[in-house]
Structure 1
């Protein structure tokens, strides 16, 4: 099989924490020695060699370094004058481009070793426009409350989100207690679908469409009651608790970057990983944390105590009864003493009946 066109790219993005985010047909987080005082990273540390040439089969071979935060947080060497901009999840990022098909990229030594040296670890991490969290509130082992918080960090745009929640049947939801609040006010969902659970058959299914106001936190709360399981349905470690799956939040998040009308410029390959345009929204799916819920747990040591006590009572009672039913009783007269035997001998010699 012959290829008419083959292209490859390596995307490297330095993070504030001193790690490297790289993409070469996959995404990964490359650890560095930043915490041990070595505040630099290079291609030689990643691949144990430098780059000397491009892939012979590639018609386009480029390396992209995210320099949006440069020169505030790190230095890049060798520098290049070739820059490119791309949209990544609604954010315009600037990249330094190293074209490996050009001989000038390798310099006179015919070797390319990109070096990134961090200046400091200070700086705020970028907050996503949409993120969520979930936790369980309440006390005791009878009732509780599930709280789901959805954050919209967009400065001026509101957008709808689809919340999908699947709760096990042993947490019996009280749907009449469902509340949705944003900025201290009630936020009525545009659409709600609820499918009640059946014990030991199917879980609760709650789906709703909620509009998130700009720069706000929307809280969804619902109360539940804990069910008492059969003793055979408990896990080997029931006191650890039972896991409840994550909530799924899906939305088309609007971009914070203005539309770029120049659509004829060359774009990097990795921009096709995100199916969106600058003038449109991009799809985001967020999973919350799983919950760990404690259920009413019986004292599993009680059967052992009952068995021991029952066996003891049966052994004592049955043993005594069996002894009484199987024992034979005989009357035996005690043998006379020495004085009595001597007296009987004398009485016999005198012709007197013995004692």
Structure 2
């Protein structure tokens, strides 16, 4: 018994010495570098009520790391073993992720579904924070040449695959493109003057890749929540539930990560923005919450149109009610568990947008107390631990903010489809419609097609709904062309066109393509399903938007190729 006591005393003494030594080293770093925390965390939620009872929920989280201390400024000489790093809520795995692949900027987008611009208007964040259906990735990598940049890209994909439980490792050389006109795609998102200085004669390479219709599920949401200092347990993130998010009509999760440097103070830090957006229908979501299992509506709850044939067995239902009220916990399945106490620079904000205050009322429930404001904006500012819930009611759901609806009209409508039903030939058609009757728009059309879609660019035909435009006029509408031809099994086709869409006009581009036969092992497991083709990107460069470019992704395509009989190798006797 005595020996055990001596051993315990000796063990505690060693731990105390080591802790004191480490604390002293940290204190030396703090004093010598005179460091103060510059990290920050902000969160906000915008609830936008749209026509036909649609509701867009936009969660926005902003994180900033402490200053990145260059290794040369460290006072230790033991291989930087005790180099000072203080994250204060910023995720620790970001810095190793970026440094290993020499990545300076990362734009990552998980999107599911197709945005209906005719019903819902403009995309949130002008479309920058959402991609095409599936996974989309943009990265600014420092490297000596393209070969090294591709090696760094492969390393980045391997790490992202494990971090986000997704198939990033399938974004290989056959799917990578190097955007030519960088400014069109990252204007206002990357400041060249704030990027870290290049070393050893390196250059920056902007690279893009995507996976069409990549399955997205709760396993992809979990890493987003783990990046937050609250881990989704408190604050606005406690509202997020995977079942509600992925049962929506459209949803998007994105991360914008930048390395920002101040050359006057010789300091750099990481800026991270996490955006989570999804679209639901209010009555249907409330009905689903009330009846999780689909069941017939009880007879006493039916609202029948008595002006039509009405019996015990027949009922023509009345239109949905114009008035309703609800708490957002009835839709999200959760209330807000307390407020985040890490965002010291600002409070957690909630805004309800798009409503006419004469017909709509909002209030926030703090514990059991209901509080309202005149501007439908709320802060989570209770000092005591509290539970929050947002209340929304209306006497006429058709009364919305007309000015906001008008400003929400998209500047362009785009559709893309495959033509032809042959197994070896077909075509690609893209249609652009400018709804404005007063001004033209200038767009950047960005297309990436796999090598097995052999597009004949020389067969391009342009047509317009304006019969007054001649063939030469139509040709002049394409002011700039960039074409990078595909290479079999190693490189996709990459097109970038700058096009003028006249006011009130529909412009159609159409090309012929050839469908080759693939090798036996190149077909997917379900070969008869077809090949998923990623979305095309259209960027509206219209000067009337004050250089705030608007981004549109077309729906994905499903390409059918001639499929061999895979049972033949097993039916032939040796």
Q: What is the match of residue 442 of structure 2?
A: 160
Q: Deviations over 1:74-118 (max 9, x none)?
A: 43346534x4xxxxxxxxxxxx34466799xxxxxx998542124
For residues 105-144 of structure 1, give each alpha carbon's deviation from its aligned partner in whole angstroms, at most 9, with x where no partner exists: xxxxx99854212445658985422342211011221211
| Cα shift at 1:172 | 1.8
- Does 2:430 correspond to 1:148? yes
Distance across 2 between alignment mates of 1:223 and 1:176:
9
Of 518, 526, 531, which aligns to 1:229?
518
Counterpart in the other structure of 2:55: 19
- The answer (yes or no) to whether the contact 2:45–2:57 under 8 Å persists in 1 is no
**How many Å separate the matches in 2 of 1:128 and 1:14?**
17
Deviations 1:289-320 (A, max 9, x none): 22111112222333434x14xx5xxxxxxxxx
SS in structure 1 at match of 2:347: strand
Residues 19-46 of structure 1, C-alpha deviation per residue, up to 9 Å, x if partnerless? Answer: 3524342443375762245843436656
Which residue of the partner structure matches residue 34 of structure 1?
Answer: 283
The answer to whether the 8 A contact 1:130-1:253 is kept is: no
d(CA) in 1 for partners of 2:399 and 2:421?
A: 39
Aligned-residue offset at 1:234: 2.3
Residue of structure 1 in register with 2:156 after alignment: none
Contact 1:182 1:213 in 2 (8 A): no
The CA distance in 1 between the partners of 2:480 and 2:424, in whole Å, is 30
Contact 2:528 2:560 in 1 (8 A): yes
TM-score normalized with structure 2 length: 0.40
Of 146-155 and 36-45, the range deviating more from structure 2: 36-45
Contact 2:50-2:354 at 8 Å conserved across structures: no
Distance 1:175 1:24 in 2: 41
Structure (1/2) with the larger strand percentage: 1
**Could you tell me how far apart the structure 2 residues matched to 1:43 and 1:218 are?**
43
The offset of 1:209, in angstroms, is 0.8
Higher helix share: 2
Whether contact under 8 Å (2:348, 2:380) holds in the other structure is: yes
Separation (CA, whole Å) in 2 of partners of 1:161 and 1:288: 14
Alpha-carbon shift at residue 164 of structure 1 (Å): 1.6
**Residues 462 and 509 in structure 2, CA contact (< 8 A), matched pair in contact too:** yes
- SS of alignment partner, residue 549 of structure 2: strand
Instruction: Describe how 1:291-310 pairs up with structure 2 within 5 A.
Output: 291-305=557-571, 307-308=572-573
Corresponding residue number in structure 2 for 1:61: 347
Distance 1:72 1:243, change over 3 A: farther
Q: 1:221: Cα distance to partner? A: 0.9
Correspondence for 2:118: none
Residue 301 and residue 9 in structure 1: after superposition, are their counterparts in 2 closer, same or farther (change >3 A)? closer
- Judged with a 3 Å threshold, the aligned counterparts in structure 2 of structure 1 residues 230 and 133 are, in CA distance, closer, same or farther, namely same
Q: How many residues align?
A: 265
Change (3 A) 1:296 1:4: closer
SS across alignment from 1:232: helix
Instruction: Tell me the residue number matched to 1:115.
Output: 391
The corresponding residue for 1:129 is 411
5+ unaligned residues in a row in structure 2: which ranges?
1-35, 62-274, 291-323, 364-370
1:338 counterpart residue number: none
1:239 and 1:5 map into 2 onto residues whose CA distance is 51
Alignment of 1:46-125 (within 5 A): 48=335, 58=344, 60-61=346-347, 63-71=349-357, 74-77=360-363, 79-81=372-374, 83=375, 96-98=376-378, 114-119=390-395
Contact kept, 8 Å, 1:74 with 1:118, in 2: the verdict is yes
Extract unaligned runs of 5+ from structure 1: 84-95, 104-109, 256-278, 312-355
Find out whether 1:180 has 2:469 as its counterpart.
Answer: no
SS in 2 for 1:34: helix
TM superposition shift of 1:66? 3.7
Change (3 A) 1:239 1:3: closer
Q: Distance in 1 between matches of 2:513 and 2:399?
A: 42
Distance 1:292 1:225, change over 3 A: same
